[in-house]
Amino acid sequence: MFIELDLQSETPIYAQLVDQIVEGIASGALKPGDPLPSIRNLSEDLGINLHTVNKAYNLLKQEGFLQVHRKKGVIVQPDGMPGVTEEFEEKLRQQLRSLAAAAAVRGMSEEAFAQESKSVYRDMIMNRGGEQR
């Protein structure tokens, strides 16, 4: 589980963290029940502030992707991930619309766009069950 941050990026650090952890779960690098580094450890490793990590963890907890366990610390949700809610679909569609519009205007075809989505998804999932950590 490697995390790479771009401190120059305009997307906030905590959001990058959230993204990468979610991708870690999606790719299978992080499995349900797996422990995550403690806030302090991770913040030190990444050279960022503890509150920034805390914010990311909290967001993921709210979304139901992580649990804060009294004994094990922070772990990946072991009791089943949240499903595809109405709310999520709405947000997904809205973001896709924005991307699709930009793609369409630049001349990318419907097939190309769908293909791109498909391959991105596939690349992410690819090595499920593969790397353990």
Instruction: Encode 21-39: b = buried (16+ Cβ within 10 Å), e = exposed.
Output: beebbebbbbeeebebbeb
Under rule CB under 8 A, residue 26 binds a copy of itself? yes
Q: How many residues bind DNA (CB under 7 A)?
A: 23
Binders of DNA in range 47-76 (CB under 7 A)? 48-52, 54-55, 57-58, 68, 70-71, 73-74
3-state SS string for 13-59: HHHHHHHHHHHHHHHCCCCCCCECCCHHHHHHHHCCCHHHHHHHHHH
| CB 44 to a copy of itself: min, Å | 15
Site map (CB under 7 A) of DNA, residues 2-31, x = contact: --------x-xxxx----------------
Is 98 a binding residue for a copy of itself by CB under 8 A? The answer is yes
